[in-house]
Structure 1
Amino acid sequence: MASFTTYLSWRWNFFVNLPLGVLGILLVLRFISDQRVEERRALDWAGSALASAGMASLLWGLERVAHPGDTLHMTVGLIATGIVLGSLAIRHLRTTPYPLLDLSAFKVQTFAIATLSAGTYARMAINAMPFLLPLLFQVGFNLDPVEAGMLILAYFLGNLGMKTVTTPTLRRFGFRQVLVVNGLVASFSIFACALISPQTPHALIVLLMLIAGLSRSMQFTALATISFADVPPEQRSSASTLSNMLFQVAMLLGVAVGAATLNLSLSFRGVTFWPCLTSASLLSPSAGSGSQLHCGS
Structure 2
Amino acid sequence: MDDQVRTRRTDTSGTCPEPPSDAVKRLLPWLVAVAYFMESLDTTILNTAVPVIAKAMDVPPLSMKAVLASYTLSLAIFIPISGWMADRFGTRRVFAGAIGLFTLASLLAGLSQNMYMLIACRILQGCGGAMMVPVGRLTLVRTFDRTEFIRILSLVTIPGWIGPVIGPTVGGFMVAHLHWSFIFFVNVPIGILGLILVARYLPDYREEKRPPDIKGFLLFGAGVALMSYVLEIFGEHILTPSQTIALLAVSVALILAYGYHSLRTRWPLLELGLFRIRTFRISVSGSFFTRLGVGGVPFLLPLLYQIPLGFTPMQSGLLIMPQAIGGILAKLALSRILDRLGYRNMLTSNTIILGALLMLFATVGPYTPVWLIVLQASLYGAFSSLQYTTMNSMAYADMDQHKTSSAGSIASTAQELSISFGIAAAGLITAFFIPEHAPSREKAMMGFGLHEAFIVLGIMTILSTFIFAGLKREDGERVVHRSQVRMNRGYR
- TM interval, shorter chain, is 0.7 to 0.9
How far is 1:159 from its partner? 2.2
| TM alignment of 1:185-196, pairs within 5 A | 185-196=353-364
Residue in 2 that maps onto 1:102: 271
Q: Distance in 2 between matches of 1:294 and 1:105?
A: 43
Q: Which amino acid aligns with 1:157?
A: I
Secondary structure at the aligned position of 2:434 is classed as: helix
Query: 1:295–1:200: structure 2 CA closer, same or farther, 3 Å change rule?
Result: closer
Q: Distance in 1 between matches of 2:258 and 2:439?
A: 40
Residue in 2 that maps onto 1:8: 178
How far is 1:199 from its partner? 0.5
| TM alignment of 1:179-218, pairs within 5 A | 179-218=347-386
Q: Give the counterpart of 1:223 among 368, 375, 391.
A: 391
- Cα deviation, 1:134-174, whole Å, max 9, x if unaligned, reads 11111111222122221112222222332222233223332
Q: Does 1:271 align with 2:441?
A: no
- Cα deviation, 1:30-66, whole Å, max 9, x if unaligned, reads 9xxx999x7653222211222222233333443445x
Q: Unaligned 5+ residue runs, structure 1?
A: 277-291
8 Å CA contact retained: 1:2, 1:146: yes
Query: 1:178–1:235: structure 2 CA closer, same or farther, 3 Å change rule?
Result: same
8 Å CA contact retained: 1:138, 1:145: yes
Residue in 2 that maps onto 1:146: 314
Query: 1:296–1:192: structure 2 CA closer, same or farther, 3 Å change rule?
Result: closer
**TM value normalised by structure 2:** 0.49
Residue in 2 that maps onto 1:50: 219
Between 45-54 and 242-251, the greater mean CA deviation after superposition: 45-54
Q: Give the counterpart of 1:176 among 344, 350, 357.
A: 344
Between 51-60 and 77-86, the greater mean CA deviation after superposition: 77-86
| TM alignment of 1:1-297, pairs within 5 A | 1-16=171-186, 19=190, 40-65=209-234, 71-72=238-239, 79-116=248-285, 118-267=286-435, 270-271=437-438, 274=441, 276=442
Query: 1:104–1:35: structure 2 CA closer, same or farther, 3 Å change rule?
Result: farther
Q: Which amino acid aligns with 2:180?
A: W
8 Å CA contact retained: 2:270, 2:406: yes
Query: 1:167–1:13: structure 2 CA closer, same or farther, 3 Å change rule?
Result: farther
Q: Which amino acid aligns with 1:120?
A: F
Q: Distance in 1 between matches of 2:405 and 2:192?
A: 21
Secondary structure at the aligned position of 2:362 is classed as: coil
8 Å CA contact retained: 1:61, 1:76: no
The count of corresponding residues between Structure 1 and Structure 2 is: 269
8 Å CA contact retained: 1:110, 1:230: yes
Query: 1:293–1:45: structure 2 CA closer, same or farther, 3 Å change rule?
Result: closer
How far is 1:187 from its partner? 1.4
8 Å CA contact retained: 2:324, 2:381: yes
Q: Distance in 2 between matches of 1:7 and 1:192?
A: 32
8 Å CA contact retained: 1:272, 1:296: no
* Structure showing greater relative contact order (alpha-carbon pairs closer than 8 Å, 6 or more residues apart): 1
Q: CA RMSD in A?
A: 3.2
8 Å CA contact retained: 2:438, 2:444: no
Query: 1:5–1:235: structure 2 CA closer, same or farther, 3 Å change rule?
Result: same
Q: Which amino acid aligns with 1:103?
A: L
**TM value normalised by structure 1:** 0.78
How far is 1:237 from its partner? 2.3
Q: Percent identity?
A: 28
